[in-house]
Amino acid sequence: MSRRLDDVSTPARLAEAEEGIGRDELALATRNHGLPLEALRYDVTPPGLHYVLTHYDIPYLPEDAAWELTIDGLVRHPLRLGMDDLRSYPAVTARVTMECAGNGRARLVPRPVSQPWLVEAVGTADWTGVPLRLLLADAQVRDGAVDVVFTGADHGVERGVEQDYQRALPLEVATVDEPEVLVAYAMNGAPLPPQHGQPLRLVVPGWYGMAQVKWLRDITVSDAPFTGFQQTSAYRLRQEPHELGEPVTRIAPRALMVPPGFPDFMSRSRVTRPGPVSLEGRAWSGRAPIATVEVTTDDGRTWSEADLDEATAHPWAWRRWRFEWTAEPGEHLLSARATDAEGNTQPLNQPWNRGGFANNLVQRIPVLCLDTEGSRSG
Amino acid sequence: MSRRLDDVSTPARLAEAEEGIGRDELALATRNHGLPLEALRYDVTPPGLHYVLTHYDIPYLPEDAAWELTIDGLVRHPLRLGMDDLRSYPAVTARVTMECAGNGRARLVPRPVSQPWLVEAVGTADWTGVPLRLLLADAQVRDGAVDVVFTGADHGVERGVEQDYQRALPLEVATVDEPEVLVAYAMNGAPLPPQHGQPLRLVVPGWYGMAQVKWLRDITVSDAPFTGFQQTSAYRLRQEPHELGEPVTRIAPRALMVPPGFPDFMSRSRVTRPGPVSLEGRAWSGRAPIATVEVTTDDGRTWSEADLDEATAHPWAWRRWRFEWTAEPGEHLLSARATDAEGNTQPLNQPWNRGGFANNLVQRIPVLCLDTEGSRSG
Q: Which among B2, B27, B106 is the nearest to A371, CB-wise?
A: B2
A38–B52 CB contact, under 8 Å: no
A328 residue type, one letter: E
User: Of B378, B363, B206, nearest to A234 (Cα)?
Assistant: B378
Please write the tens of the pLDDT for every residue from B129-176: 999 999 999 999 999 999 999 999 999 999 999 999 999 999 999 999
DSSP state of B108: S
Q: Which among B36, B162, B369 is the nearest to A54, CB-wise?
A: B36
B49–A195 CB contact, under 8 Å: yes
Q: Is the pLDDT of residue B213 over 70?
A: yes
Shortest distance between the Cα of B361 and any Cα of chain A, in A, equals: 17
A157–B29 CB contact, under 8 Å: no
Chain A hits for B2, CB-CB cut-off 8 Å, are 371
- Cβ under 8 Å to B: A residues 7-26: 7-10, 12, 19-26
User: Of B315, B365, B362, nearest to B338 (Cα)?
Assistant: B362
Between the alpha carbon of residue B216 and those of residues A125, B233, B234, the distances in Å are 28, 21, 19
Helix (H, G, I), strand (E, B) or coil at A330: strand
Q: Note whether B64 contacts A: Cβ–Cβ < 8 A.
A: no
Helix (H, G, I), strand (E, B) or coil at B155: strand
Cis before A116? omega within 30: no
Chain B hits for A118, CB-CB cut-off 8 Å, are 26-27, 30
Average pLDDT, chain B: 95
Taking residue B246's Cβ as centre, other Cβ atoms within 10 Å add up to 12
> What is the pLDDT at residue A35?
98
Please write the tens of the pLDDT for every residue from A203-257: 999 999 999 999 999 999 999 999 999 999 999 999 999 999 999 999 999 999 9
Helix (H, G, I), strand (E, B) or coil at A324: strand
Phi-psi category of residue A172: left, alpha or beta, with phi > 0 → left and psi -120 to 50 → alpha: alpha
Chain A hits for B49, CB-CB cut-off 8 Å, are 58, 193-195
DSSP state of A57: P
Q: Is the pLDDT of residue A99 over 80?
A: yes
Between the alpha carbon of residue A39 and those of residues A34, A50, A142, B121, B200, the distances in Å are 10, 9, 45, 21, 18
Report the residue count for chain A.
378
Taking residue A324's Cβ as centre, other Cβ atoms within 10 Å add up to 13
- Cβ under 8 Å to A: B residues 76-115: 106, 113-114
Beta-bridge partner residues of B70: B80, B218
Angle in degrees, CA A358, A23, B324, rounded to 5: 110
Q: How confident is the model at residue B186 (pLDDT cuts 50, 70, 90)?
A: very high
Q: Is the pLDDT of residue B178 over 80?
A: yes
- Cβ under 8 Å to B: A residues 214-233: 228-229
User: Of A122, A143, A174, nearest to A283 (Cα)?
Assistant: A122
Q: Are A81 and A71 in contact (CB under 8 A)?
A: yes
B36–A42 CB contact, under 8 Å: no
- Cβ under 8 Å to B: A residues 167-196: 193-196
Please write the tens of the pLDDT for every residue from B12-58: 999 999 899 999 999 999 999 999 999 999 999 998 999 999 999 99
β-pairing, B68-73 vs B216-222, is: parallel
Q: How confident is the model at residue B348 (pLDDT cuts 50, 70, 90)?
A: very high
DSSP state of B251: P
Q: Which residues contact A362 (CB under 8 A, 6 or more apart)?
A: A255, A335, A336, A337, A346, A347, A348
User: Of B149, B220, B135, B240, nearest to B180 (Cα)?
Assistant: B135
- Cβ under 8 Å to A: B residues 345-374: 368-371, 374
Q: Is the pLDDT of residue A377 over 50?
A: no
Q: Note whether A159 contacts B: Cβ–Cβ < 8 A.
A: yes
User: Of A20, A3, A25, A152, nearest to B266 (Cα)?
Assistant: A25
d(CA B228, CA B245): 15
> What is the pLDDT at residue B185?
98
A30–B263 CB contact, under 8 Å: no
Shortest distance between the Cα of A176 and any Cα of chain B, in A, equals: 29
Beta-bridge partner residues of B332: B367
β-pairing, B190-191 vs B201-203, is: unpaired
> What is the pLDDT at residue B377?
43
DSSP state of A230: I
A199 residue type, one letter: P
Q: Which among A29, A156, A268 is the nearest to B264, CB-wise?
A: A156
List Cβ<8 Å contacts ≥24 apart for B103-106: B103/B254, B103/B359, B104/B356, B104/B359, B104/B360, B104/B361, B105/B356, B105/B357, B105/B359, B106/A23, B106/A26, B106/A30, B106/B21, B106/B25
pTM score of the predicted model: 0.96
Q: Which among A163, A267, A371 is the nearest to B3, CB-wise?
A: A371
Chain B hits for A50, CB-CB cut-off 8 Å, are 48
Please write the tens of the pLDDT for every residue from A159-188: 999 999 999 999 999 999 999 999 999 999
A378–B269 CB contact, under 8 Å: no
d(CA B143, CA B145): 6
Q: Which among A3, A34, A267 is the nearest to B9, CB-wise?
A: A267
B169 residue type, one letter: L
Beta-bridge partner residues of B345: B339
d(CA A285, CA B250): 48
Provide mean pLDDT across the span A97-124: 97
Angle in degrees, CA A34, A38, A41, rounded to 5: 110
Interface predicted TM-score (ipTM) of this complex, two decimals: 0.95
β-pairing, B262-263 vs B254-257, is: unpaired
Q: Is the pLDDT of residue B4 over 70?
A: yes
For A54, the closest chain B residue by CA position comes to: B265
Q: Are B148 and B136 in contact (CB under 8 A)?
A: yes
Provide mean pLDDT across the span A58-75: 92
Q: Is the pLDDT of residue A373 over 80?
A: no
> What is the pLDDT at residue A378?
38
> What is the pLDDT at residue B202?
98
d(CA B22, CA A21): 6
Cβ contacts below 8 Å, chain A against chain B, sum to 259
Q: How confident is the model at residue B378 (pLDDT cuts 50, 70, 90)?
A: very low
- Decide: residue B372, CB within 10 A, 0-12 exposed, 13-18 middle, 19+ buried: exposed
For B25, the closest chain A residue by CA position comes to: A266
Q: Which residues contact B59 (CB under 8 A, 6 or more apart)?
A: B153, B154, B194, B215
Q: Are B134 and B219 in contact (CB under 8 A)?
A: no
A377–B162 CB contact, under 8 Å: yes
Q: Are A22 and A114 in contact (CB under 8 A)?
A: no
Phi-psi category of residue B28: left, alpha or beta, with phi > 0 → left and psi -120 to 50 → alpha: alpha
Between the alpha carbon of residue B197 and those of residues B64, B175, B286, B325, the distances in Å are 11, 21, 22, 41
Provide mean pLDDT across the span B234-256: 97
Q: Which among A3, A22, A42 is the nearest to B371, CB-wise?
A: A3
B377–A158 CB contact, under 8 Å: no
DSSP state of B231: I
Beta-bridge partner residues of A263: A270
A368–B25 CB contact, under 8 Å: no
Q: Is the pLDDT of residue B245 over 50?
A: yes
Phi-psi category of residue B60: left, alpha or beta, with phi > 0 → left and psi -120 to 50 → alpha: beta
Chain B hits for A159, CB-CB cut-off 8 Å, are 265-266
List Cβ<8 Å contacts ≥24 apart for B298-303: B298/B332, B298/B333, B299/B332, B299/B333, B299/B335, B299/B364, B300/B333, B300/B335, B300/B348, B303/B337
Chain A hits for B63, CB-CB cut-off 8 Å, are none
A33 residue type, one letter: H
> What is the pLDDT at residue A374?
53
Taking residue A113's Cβ as centre, other Cβ atoms within 10 Å add up to 22
> What is the pLDDT at residue B64?
74
Average pLDDT, chain A: 95
- Angle, helices B23-31 vs A23-31, to 10°: value is 30
Q: Are A35 and B194 in contact (CB under 8 A)?
A: no
A26–B156 CB contact, under 8 Å: no
d(CA A316, CA A15): 35
A121 residue type, one letter: A
Q: Note whether B62 contacts A: Cβ–Cβ < 8 A.
A: yes
B262–A118 CB contact, under 8 Å: no
Q: Are B332 and B366 in contact (CB under 8 A)?
A: yes
β-pairing, B92-99 vs B161-170, is: unpaired
A60–B46 CB contact, under 8 Å: no
Q: How confident is the model at residue B340 (pLDDT cuts 50, 70, 90)?
A: very high
B56–A2 CB contact, under 8 Å: no
Q: Note whether B301 contacts A: Cβ–Cβ < 8 A.
A: no
Helix (H, G, I), strand (E, B) or coil at B136: helix
